[in-house]
Amino acid sequence: MTDETAATLSSRADYADAVDRAVRAAAAYYGDGATPLGDDEYDALLRAVTAYEDAHPDQVLPDSPTGKVAGGAVVGDIPHSVPMLSLDNVFSAEELTEWAAGLERRLGRPVTAWCVEPKLDGMAVAARYRAGRLHQVLTRGDGLAGEDISHAADAILGLPAALTAPLDVELRGEVLLTHAQFEHANRLRSEHGATPFAHPRSGAAGTLRAKDRPYRVELTFFAYGAIGLDDDLGHSALLERLAALGANTAATTPAHPQRCATQEDAQRRIEEIAALRTALPFGIDGVVVKADSAADQREAGSGSRAPRWAVARKLAAEHKVTRLLDVEWNVGRTGIIAPRAVLDPVDIDGVIVTYATLHNPADITRRDLRIGDQVFVYRAGDVIPRVEAPLADQRTGDETPIAFPEACPRCGDAIDTTEQRWRCTRGRNCQAVASVIYAAGRDQLDIEGLGRTRAVQLVEAGLVGDIADLFTLTREQLLALERMGGTSTDNLLAAIETARSRPLNRVFCALGVRGTGRTMSRRIAAHFGSMAAVRAADAETLAGVDGIGAEKARVIVAELAELAPLLDKLAAQDVGTAVTEPRTPPAAADTAAGDDADGDAGGDAGGDVGGNAGRRPGAPLAGEAVVVTGGMSGRLAALSRNEMNELVERAGGKASSSVSARTTLLVAGEKAGSKRTKAETLGITILTPDEFAERVAEYLP
């Protein structure tokens, strides 16, 4: 039976098959998380089972997962002091409104207030304290009894070994792997020869149950309830009390719980948390809405599986299961050979995904991926989809190993396999056309008239082998090419001559150094002031640039050494040799805090490169981390986004492409969209284009 037919169970046999699939999926989901179904598919299957049972109550099977905590899939041997229930789900704003109306009918009056908080995608636990000291940690199990996982307690961040008060109390909450913890856990597992976790939820489940591992995986606890505290505490007040006791709560995150007076306010907060989803450091699969008042909760009561005063508004799944059909190998402009997964098309959050990144050959080997595997695919917002892990227990034996290339897929030359990311030994020369096109782009040298067709023509004619050769082209050489008349030739030569005087940050960006982009190029230029100083810097010195750590610094130094012949040729043509203003004093640079939006910013404004002058104390944007979004108007209408970012840095700020807790200022133009919503949620200052233009008027071109 397919997922599509599961939505309308037409016979008793279909129903029995659906129950069996749901039970098996629940066992995997609540066990090690390695379910063969994505979240959306499981939810749809369970709803189909429920609908059939509602229509045929005399045919309900005893092992049906409906009405049971965790679908009845797991059991424990240690009884809970009070049952740990699940939550009922709704899947739209309309269903939420209907649920809230039903709760108010039950109460016979309006709900006093609502509390809205993120639904964390982890594993529910109960932590028992005696006289304020952690005594025992249990899984939820079947809601009546759970497993003892106290052995894992010391690896759970946010779960205090001792409370701030000597209480006998039981904290309840979610244990999960943050995105960073998940990646670290899989690196550790790979180093120890273990299979990587499929996704953070399975990683949390597996880690909590594991014993005697030769390595330590840290997790994070978020408290959302308690047994044994003041029964008259409303939910918002309870969360504050939990934080005061020393437990971690979601109040420390941008998706913090919020008390809402009306259903309309609650719905707005749901939308705000959903908009924050891609920026959170951990996974959420929904938003929880609760009656905030303790009196409302007591009066509403609970069923056998879920409280009647709380519900989960589920969000579209970011994880889906599909089949890996093939792997393609593409060569980038720097010679990097990157694998790309070809997938059986799958809908993830409204986007049909056919391709996904596989990072590098080492990643394929670490995950033990094979052609034909059922695989988890993850997509968060606009992030490129990636394959996370295969469902090894779903293999049929027909899967085949992924064939790694033995020679460069583009030019047939040898491959350098000494690093995780394989590279053609010809490096940029393997993709000379791509390198030239990139360098000539508007955000780099901005050579108008040098598009793909012309770049191919120049490379194939042997006139250009790298970007330095552009500056040696003559009128006679260009006129000899097909479809190059006098006017187009003169225009191209004029554009190339203009490019010769581009500021250092744009020349550096045109090099396409791995580990850098437009923003990082501006920071490097601002830090060193000249190409000679950049070339002379060692890894330790480069690591002093904001956003460059030790590992990236080593990559940049190696790249610059490889580019030495090209840099010498550019210097001979007086390209990138101009010395900018003196580097920013450290004290001034330290005032500019914000995100490293490497690759998302650039500019063409000339003058002080990277905003050295603007970083001086007293500059209008000193210390500001600025994001620009939407269409600009007024005095800013003529500026490209990259020119806007350079304006930000000239005026003393730090430009970023994404809104986060470190953002201090958003310039919101027409159709600002989700970035404005997120900034409003985080309480970030928002300026119109006209207001921003007035603030930085002295720095406008």
Residues identified as active-site: 119
Whether the Cβ atoms of residue 340 and residue 358 lie closer than 8 Å to each other: yes
Dist CA 10 CA 533 (whole Å): 74
**DSSP single-letter state for residue 256:** -
Rounded to whole angstroms, what are the CA distances from 305 to 11, 47, 87, 295, 491? 27, 15, 7, 20, 74
Dist CA 62 CA 433 (whole Å): 66
| Two structure tokens written together for 409 | 């897929």
- Residues whose CB falls within 8 Å of the CB of residue 430, separated by 6 or more in sequence, listed in order: 331, 335, 408, 410, 411, 413, 424
In the three-class reduction of DSSP (H, G, I as helix; E, B as strand; rest coil), residue 217 is classed as coil
Adjacent-strand bridge partners of 548: none
**DSSP single-letter state for residue 534:** H
Dist CA 221 CA 175 (whole Å): 4
Question: Counting beta carbons within 10 angstroms of the beta carbon of residue 486, is it exposed (0 to 12), middle (13 to 18) or buried (19 or more)?
Answer: exposed
Closest CA to 200 of 178, 215, 217: 178
For every residue of 183-203, DSSP letters joined together read: HHHHHHHHHTTPPPPSSHHHH
Whether the Cβ atoms of residue 314 and residue 286 lie closer than 8 Å to each other: yes
**DSSP single-letter state for residue 215:** S
In the three-class reduction of DSSP (H, G, I as helix; E, B as strand; rest coil), residue 417 is classed as coil
Whether the Cβ atoms of residue 550 and residue 539 lie closer than 8 Å to each other: yes
Whether the Cβ atoms of residue 331 and residue 337 lie closer than 8 Å to each other: yes
C-alpha angle 61-62-66 in degrees, rounded to nearest 5: 80
Q: Residues of 607-627 as b/e, b for ≥16 C-beta within 10 angstroms? A: ebbbbbbbbeeebbbbbbbbb
> How does strand 351-357 pair with strand 310-314?
unpaired
Question: Counting beta carbons within 10 angstroms of the beta carbon of residue 252, is it exposed (0 to 12), middle (13 to 18) or buried (19 or more)?
Answer: exposed
Dist CA 523 CA 535 (whole Å): 15
Closest CA to 596 of 551, 656, 659, 522: 656
- Residues whose CB falls within 8 Å of the CB of residue 97, separated by 6 or more in sequence, listed in order: 263, 267
Helix (H), strand (E) at residue 145:
strand 145-146
Dist CA 366 CA 195 (whole Å): 7
**DSSP single-letter state for residue 665:** E
